[in-house]
Each structure stands twice: as structure tokens, then as C-alpha cells.
């Protein structure tokens, strides 16, 4: 908690509400390129589009590689931050999709980074604190192929509404949970991609055992849903263990902190 008694998450949501009021109401996506299929990429990971269509070459576990300049828990993570170049390295190493932080106030991101990262050809996730339809439309306007929905921030009705609105725009959302109760809410809303964040967004405490505990519950609730393990995955042995139950991984900080992203990738994954 801050000195004022307001949690970091409360501060972020307050900032988002102010941002939403400034989003133009006349965003036109009618001439935008069609969204790349985020769900299909994760379901059949290969990291590279096969030819010019949206069919993917199946290989190993899907990797959502993240472009992130800074975070509230770590401060500045990468000084030399060029999303287009970073995404190209990720794509060359075998990433499946790209996650891009677009929050400015707390993560030093920017909406322009979506199109920059998207030049690599992989589906791009807008990672932000989405609480309104207008933010989803804004993400699509700037080149996002998917968006993050954090269950903790949304009522059941808002979660269902934003999930469907994303789908209406061709963007299958990544729905993030941090507890069994949130997992059940996500499944009840019909989420097809469920991210388990090992980090508690209120306390910033990490629990790497969470995804394993929730995996068995998810399989009984929604057997066909994809589970993405998020946050704190920094060692090959952690990756190997989680590969027993996770369908995909979202990894950013460990790669962003490496002086050479390519070497950081190979240290974590080996050759793909």
C-alpha cells in the first residue's frame, strides 16, 4: 500500500479511467489489416507463419515473448528499448507471439510500440489494464491482435462483455487470473486462453507454484482452454517443470534484462 492507503492497482485503474476519457470516439478500423490469429498461434505453436496465410507450423510449447521497458516492481528494466528490433530477435529465435506493454505511467510503454513490434509478422498482444470497450478498439486501431483482460479488475458482466467485444473485433483475449475463484470466473465467462499470473498484482509477491495448482482445476472446468504461465520464469528447470502442465509461457523480464536478448533466449530455451 502507498502512504495514502491506495494500492498500486487502485492507482493504475484510476489512471486508466482518466486515459479512457481522452480516447477519440471516432477510431476507424475499417481499413486496418485483419488481426492475426492469436489463439491459433498458441494452439499450434511454431513462431513463424507458414507462407502468407495464417496457418502455423506446430513444434513445441508456445512462447509469448514480451517487450517491456520498465515495471513498478523493478523500475527501469531495459535502457536500450527498441520494440521493433526486440520483436525481430524474438521472431528469429522462435517466439510464437509478442506481448507489448502499452501503459505509459507505470511501465513506460506506448501504443505506437504495437505496430513497431508487429512488423516482425507475429500476433501481438496489447498488455495493459483494460477496463473498457474503447481501450480494445484503440488497441485494434494501433495494430493489436489480442488484448489482456485481468479478471481482478472486472465484474462478471464486464468480463463477459469485453471478452465478446474482443472476439467481435477478431481478437481472442488472454484472460488473466491469480486464484481459483478468478479461474472459475474466467471459465464461467467462456475464456479460451487463460493466463495464470504468478505475481499478485496487489502485493507483487510471486508464487511459482500457483499455475500447477490451478492447472488441474482448469482441466476439469474447461478442458479445451489453453493455459499460459506468466511471470517469474527465469530458469530452464522452471520452464521444464511447468511444461508438464502449461500450454504456453509469457516471458519478458528475464529476456529484457539480458544484455543480449539472443543469448538470454538461448540460455533459457536452448535452440528452438
127 is catalytic: yes
Q: What is the pTM of this model?
A: 0.91
Q: CA-to-CA distance for 233 and 229, rounded, in angstroms? A: 8
191, part of any domain:
yes
Which range of residues forms the domain containing residue 140?
45-269
Q: CATH no. for residue 49? A: 3.20.20.70
Per-residue pLDDT of the chain (272 residues; tens, 9 = 90+): 344 457 889 999 999 999 999 999 899 999 989 999 999 999 988 544 433 344 333 347 999 999 999 998 889 999 999 999 999 999 999 999 999 999 999 999 999 999 999 999 999 999 999 999 999 999 999 999 999 999 999 999 999 999 999 999 999 999 999 999 999 999 999 999 999 999 998 888 999 999 999 999 999 999 999 999 999 999 999 999 999 999 999 999 999 999 999 999 999 987 54
30, part of any domain:
no
In this prediction, residue 1 carries a pLDDT of 38
In this prediction, residue 131 carries a pLDDT of 98
5, part of any domain:
no
Q: Residue 163 in contact with residue 190, Cβ under 8 Å? A: yes
68 is catalytic: yes
In this prediction, residue 270 carries a pLDDT of 77
230 is catalytic: yes
In this prediction, residue 46 carries a pLDDT of 59
39, part of any domain:
no
145, part of any domain:
yes
- 19, 172, 182, 230: the catalytic one is 230
21, part of any domain:
no
Q: Residue 189 in contact with residue 175, Cβ under 8 Å? A: yes
55, part of any domain:
yes
Please count the structural domains in the chain: 1
- 66, 138, 172, 182: the catalytic one is 66
Cα 130 versus chain centre, distance? 12
In this prediction, residue 202 carries a pLDDT of 87
- 172, 176, 182, 211: the catalytic one is 176
16 is catalytic: no
Bridge partners of 62?
248
φ/ψ of residue 177, rounded to 5: -130, 165
26, part of any domain:
no
- 37, 43, 88, 127: the catalytic one is 127
Grid cell of 143 as nine digits: 495494430
Amino acid at each position: 500500500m502507498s502512504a495514502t492507503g491506495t494500492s498500486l492497482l487502485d492507482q493504475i485503474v484510476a489512471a486508466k479511467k482518466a486515459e479512457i476519457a481522452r480516447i477519440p470516439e471516432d477510431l476507424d478500423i475499417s481499413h486496418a489489416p485483419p488481426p492475426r490469429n492469436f489463439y491459433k498461434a498458441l494452439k499450434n505453436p511454431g513462431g513463424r507463419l507458414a507462407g502468407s496465410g495464417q496457418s502455423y507450423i506446430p513444434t513445441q510449447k508456445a512462447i509469448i515473448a514480451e517487450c517491456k521497458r520498465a515495471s513498478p516492481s523493478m523500475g527501469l528494466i531495459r535502457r536500450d528499448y527498441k520494440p521493433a528490433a526486440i520483436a525481430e530477435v524474438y521472431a528469429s529465435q522462435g517466439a510464437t507471439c509478442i506481448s507489448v506493454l502499452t501503459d505509459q505511467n507505470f511501465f513506460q510503454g506506448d501504443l505506437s510500440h504495437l505496430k513497431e513490434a508487429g512488423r516482425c509478422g507475429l500476433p501481438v498482444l496489447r498488455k495493459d489494464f483494460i477496463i473498457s470497450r474503447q481501450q480494445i478498439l484503440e488497441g485494434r486501431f494501433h495494430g493489436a491482435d489480442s488484448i489482456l483482460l485481468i479478471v481482478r479488475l472486472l465484474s462478471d458482466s464486464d468480463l463477459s462483455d469485453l471478452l465478446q467485444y474482443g472476439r467481435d473485433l477478431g481478437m481472442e483475449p488472454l484472460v488473466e487470473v491469480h486464484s481459483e475463484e478468478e479461474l472459475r470466473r474466467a471459465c464461467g465467462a467462456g475464456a479460451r486462453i487463460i493466463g495464470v499470473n504468478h505475481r499478485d498484482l496487489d502485493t507483487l509477491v510471486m508464487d511459482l507454484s500457483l499455475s500447477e495448482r490451478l492447472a488441474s482445476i482448469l482441466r476439469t472446468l474447461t478442458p479445451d482452454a489453453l493455459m499460459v504461465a506468466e511471470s517469474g520464469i527465469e530458469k530452464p528447470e522452471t520452464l521444464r517443470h511447468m511444461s508438464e502442465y502449461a500450454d504456453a509461457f509469457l516471458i519478458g523480464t528475464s529476456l529484457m534484462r539480458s544484455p543480449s536478448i539472443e543469448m538470454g533466449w538461448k540460455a533459457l530455451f536452448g535452440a528452438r
